[in-house]
Amino acid sequence: MTDWGFPFGRLTLDAIPLSDIVTAHGRTELLSGITGSAAAGAAVLGALVALVIVTWKGWWKPLWSDWLTSVDHKKIGIMYIVFSFVMLARALAEAFVMRMQQVVGHDGGGIVMPEHFAQLFSTHGTIMIFFMAMPFLTGMINYVMPLQIGARDVAFPVLNSVSLMLTVAGGIILMVSLVLEPFSTGGWSGYPPYTEAAFNPGAGPDYWIWAVTLSSLGTTFTGINFAVTIYKKRCPGMTLMRMPLFTWTALCTSILMIFAMPPLTIATALLALDRYLDFHLFTNGGGGNMMNYANLFWLFGHPEVYILILPAFGVWSEVFSTFSGKTLYGYTALVIATMAIAVLSFTVWVHHFFTMGQSANLNAAFGIATMLIGVPTGVKIYDWMLTMYRGRVRISVPMLYALAFLFLFTIGGLSGILLANPTIDYQTHNTLFLVAHFHNMLIPGLLFGMIAGYTMWFPKAFGFRLDEKWGYRAAWCWIFGFMGAFFPLYALGLMGMPRRMADYFTGAWLPWTVVALAGAGLIVLAFTFLLVQLRVSVRDRARLAVPVGDPWDGRSLEWGLPAPPPEWNFPALPRVEGRDAFATLKMTGEDLGPPDDGYEDIRMPKNAVLGPVIGALGTGLAFALTWYLWWLALPLAALVPVVLIAQGFRRDTEKVIPAHEVRETWRAFRALAARTPRVSRRAEYTRDNRGHAIPMPQEAAE
Amino acid sequence: MSATQTRHPGLNLGSNHQSADDRAETEVFGFWVFMMSDAILFGLLMATYVVMRPNTNGGPGPHDLFELKSIFIETMLLLASSVAIGFSHLALKHEDRPTKMVIWLVVAMALALAFVGFEIHDFLKMAGKGGVPQASGFLSAFFALVPLHGLHVSAACLWGLAILGQLARYGLDDGVKVSMVRLAVLWHFLDLVWIGIFSLVYIGGLA
Ligand code: HEM
Ligand SMILES: [Cu+2]
């Protein structure tokens, strides 16, 4: 052990994408090198521009003390979502390149080499799941859930910041892998023995292992944090069966995180042992058994898809009831269905490898279990439809997504029921049929849900609505773009086109891939429209302002707070008398009034540097381990316990917000509300909507 | 929160320590949840071990490598250290001064370190007989599981040291009290995990 890997470990000039251009033979290799270099260039340029802007504007200090070290759940939530938007941009670009390749790559050749294509689907999948979807929903829960249960923060605010920074660390590792290649070619699931050192000795799988491990640790802590918050931090009167449905889904997702992330941590850690220390857990020889990996990974992987979809179901529940002006239909049924899905999600993992050699009886059992999940999900769909029934439905932007969701998600669900039948799965597994199925769940279900939630809660977080015109444009492009990009994949799958394939010689596939490319183009447009919408809304924020904080005639507690809410959320912990807490208050003409027993000093957690420090250590450690920089890895690893122990010695962790400050802020808000006219739902999308709603029953009575 | 309200069962601080007990309400509950997640971790590694046990790859198997005598000593050491941490916790709850708590904590740490020492000795002895993780799937699974437990025990000792440091610096404040409760939870948890390892890995391996 004299080789400390000083200074560069196994990092050589080959790692820079430009070297692919220099060494290229032939057109495809050259184009592939150019594509890779352009992506790396964009990443470097993006980072540089960000640095320059922050320096230019003198934002380093506010960035550090108002954001990075902040432990305020609202700011952490916003940071999560910003991060996930950045990662979404990259993963979308990669998806577009892949769709392009499958058009120009028919008859061989194309714009990316097979190796490069493999990196694209691996990073695309890994990013979309771990660094887009997970941060998006975690950010959404972070922002909304404590407000909905009448809490001032999550149970462990510093841990919350650590979770964020661990996730970001994983994302940084993925971005670094663009510039110092290669990333893994093993897909988002990283199956050994292909990812073992024997077949893949390079840095790729190691990047993947550490990025995913960082994210899974962060997510485990998030799950613990949210679950404890919901169990212990609800305000008086907020019994479990009075919680808004979004909070219920947050609880179920947290429980799934607590139990489903450890299998992933184990899977990646054991794979690392195989690769770094020559263990024989999943190897071909030496008594290893890759089925261990398949089981561990999908023991995580299937609950994971419900971690992803349940919070979106929560958003849908809020959207349907808010924009129908009605209480949620079948609240109890929805709670039970959510819990049922959470439990069942642990009983179906084998459906991800029906073809890997277990007995037909076992497959049948898991197939039936899988189909069972359709039952609670169906209950939900009916509950949402019945929520609209006889409501005053407004086709707002979130509602447009919701309606598209109802149709498209059902189609995706039906294709899932088909796949749950092992005999059919034998025909379709590993084809684009499967890719169509899971995108059909993930995009209309999860991603539309997140965008709908973003549209609905944005005014709460920033004090102004998102411009509706661009909102509709983006929504229509998402909807039709999705259909264009993925419905052809069902056909291609049935025609036998395998997934993860860079080029092919079957002419009949070409027309369908062209349609899919057009759809992907529309999706890129949709994403661009979201960015335009943000830009336009910031510009027109005076026209769109909703300072009173209730632009949609909302039903749960968060809508009773100013937009944006003060750091301490509630001047006094509210007392809840029933479901739809804020809607009930509004009807009695109360709103969230002044606290009964006067204002008191509020204790809030102080900023903490632990999160950014752990994030930096995690990033450095992952990088050092990937490139065999042992001289760096060792001290960084040793610093982790030191930092944790130092955190234990912190005592001065709270600050006091004096009662008079709380009183003044709150009185100013109530005065503003009193002089702002209430608006009816007809005026929802006009500049008259300042966030002071006439409650729907009153409006209907008039 | 009133003192009469039911708290989490088992380890708690009682109403003598009102403010610390209020904090423990959330923090210790959170730690229990963390332990649940950790239990999954160990459970899966145990399951992996059970699956891998036959895969000795022509190398040494359980009968060649495991010695019940030293496993028995280790078990006794760890159980005794759990008893000691229990006394330490009782002292925290009922005594005004931290002296007894510290003494029992130090005893628990000493016993746990002795456990780790014996364990390392075992591993070295196994390695001498060709029982290294690279030799077979069986040994890989063994070395993924058992040293992880030892690592947890060592980390718990380090945490104990850190708590003693905090005690020296700040006296017996709420932070120290709540940390002690969590440490005790971890300690007993690791004991339980060891029982699992003892029965599944060692007894099961030799059976
Ligand atoms: C929005 C537009 C999207 C497009 C155009 C797109 C396109 C693609 C393409 C072309 C592939 C490779 C298919 C193949 O193997 O041949 C793929 C794989 C994948 N996508 Fe997407 N995708 C999109 C969104 C998403 C989203 C939102 C998620 C998850 C939240 C996601 C998760 C995945 C995963 C997990 C894979 C599998 C990667 C692997 O094979 O290991 N995608 N996608
Ligand atoms: Cu599944």
Size of chain B, expressed as the number of residues it contains: 207
Please state the domain extents for chain A. Answer: 59-701
A594: pLDDT strictly greater than 80: no
Please report which confidence band the pLDDT of residue B2 belongs to, taking 50, 70 and 90 as the band edges: very low
pLDDT at residue B202, as a whole number: 94
The whole-chain average pLDDT of chain B stands at 92
Query: Mean pLDDT, to the nearest integer, of A570-579?
Result: 90
- Ligand 1 atom closest to residue A95's alpha carbon, by position in its atom list: 7
d(CA B45, CA B40): 9
- Ligand 1 atom closest to residue A500's alpha carbon, by position in its atom list: 15
Non-local CB neighbours of A41 within 8 Å, separated by 6+ positions: none
Contact between A165 and A64 under an 8 Å Cβ cutoff? The reply is no
pLDDT at residue B18, as a whole number: 80
User: Tens of pLDDT along A85-124?
Assistant: 999 999 999 999 999 999 999 988 899 999 999 999 999 9
Contact between A316 and A402 under an 8 Å Cβ cutoff? The reply is yes
Higher pLDDT, B133 or A4: B133
- Tokens 């971005």 belong to residue: A175
Neighbours of A601 (CB within 10 A): 11
Query: Mean pLDDT, to the nearest integer, of B124-144?
Result: 96
Query: Mean pLDDT, to the nearest integer, of A413-434?
Result: 95
Higher pLDDT, A598 or A293: A293
Which positions in chain A touch B56 (Cβ < 8 Å)? 287
Determine contact: A652 vs chain B, CB below 8 A.
no
Question: Domains of chain B (ranges plus CATH)?
Answer: 17-206 (1.20.120.80)
Tell me whether strands A654-657 and A602-605 are parallel, antiparallel or unpaired.
Answer: antiparallel
d(CA A225, CA A221): 6
DSSP of A94-116, one letter per residue?
Answer: HHHHHHHHHHHTBTS--SS-HHH
B23: pLDDT strictly greater than 90: no
Contact between A146 and A235 under an 8 Å Cβ cutoff? The reply is no
B1: pLDDT strictly greater than 50: no
A223: pLDDT strictly greater than 50: yes
pLDDT at residue B156, as a whole number: 98
Token code pair at residue A505: 């010689």
Burial class (CB in 10 A: 0-12, 13-18, 19+), A652: exposed
B4: pLDDT strictly greater than 70: no
Half-sphere exposure (Cβ direction) of A97: Cα atoms closer than 13 Å: 25
Which positions in chain B touch A281 (Cβ < 8 Å)? 48, 52, 137, 140-141, 144
Distance from CA of B93 to the nearest CA of A (A): 21
User: Tens of pLDDT along B65-89?
Assistant: 999 999 999 999 999 999 999 999 9
C-beta of A623 in contact with ligand 1 (< 6 A): no
Q: Among A675, A95, A700, A173, which residue's Cα sits nearest to residue A443?
A: A95
Q: Among A691, A677, A698, which residue's Cα sits nearest to residue A584?
A: A698
Query: Mean pLDDT, to the nearest integer, of A285-292?
Result: 94
Residue A352 in 3-state DSSP? helix
Q: Is domain A59-701 in CATH 3.40.50.150, yes or no?
A: no
Query: Mean pLDDT, to the nearest integer, of A70-89?
Result: 98
Higher pLDDT, A598 or A153: A153
User: Tens of pLDDT along A342-389?
Assistant: 999 999 999 999 999 899 999 999 999 999 999 999 999 999 999 999
pLDDT at residue A698, as a whole number: 87
Helix or strand run (H / E) with residue A663: helix A659-675
Higher pLDDT, B6 or B113: B113
Handedness of CA A98, A99, A100, A103 (dihedral sign): positive
Q: What is the pTM of this model?
A: 0.96
Non-local CB neighbours of B73 within 8 Å, separated by 6+ positions: B118
Helix or strand run (H / E) with residue A657: strand A654-657
C-beta of A611 in contact with ligand 1 (< 6 A): no
Q: Residue A509 gets which letter from DSSP?
A: G
d(CA A170, CA A127): 10
Residues of chain A with pLDDT > 70: what percent? 99
Omega before B147 within 30 of 0, i.e. cis: no
Work out the angle between the directed axes of helices A432-441 and A397-419 (0-180°, nearest 10): 140
Query: Mean pLDDT, to the nearest integer, of A500-518?
Result: 96
Non-local CB neighbours of B186 within 8 Å, separated by 6+ positions: B31, B35, B152, B156, B159
C-beta of A435 in contact with ligand 1 (< 6 A): yes
- Tokens 């490598």 belong to residue: B65
First to last CA, chain A: 83
User: Tens of pLDDT along A135-145?
Assistant: 999 999 999 99
Q: Among A623, A578, A586, which residue's Cα sits nearest to residue A698?
A: A586
Half-sphere exposure (Cβ direction) of A512: Cα atoms closer than 13 Å: 19
Q: Among A374, A220, A224, A209, which residue's Cα sits nearest to residue A293?
A: A209
pLDDT at residue A457, as a whole number: 98
Burial class (CB in 10 A: 0-12, 13-18, 19+), A576: buried
B34: pLDDT strictly greater than 60: yes
**Which residues in A568-644 belong to E strands, given as ranges?**
602-605
Contact between A678 and A692 under an 8 Å Cβ cutoff? The reply is yes
Determine contact: A193 vs chain B, CB below 8 A.
no
Helix or strand run (H / E) with residue A300: helix A290-324
Determine contact: A265 vs chain B, CB below 8 A.
yes
Distance from CA of A374 to the nearest CA of B (A): 27
Q: Which ligand is nearest to the CA of A305?
A: 2
Nearest 5 degrees, angle CA A497-CA A502-CA A506?
Answer: 45
Token code pair at residue A157: 């605010």
Q: Residue A346 gets which letter from DSSP?
A: G
B3: pLDDT strictly greater than 50: no
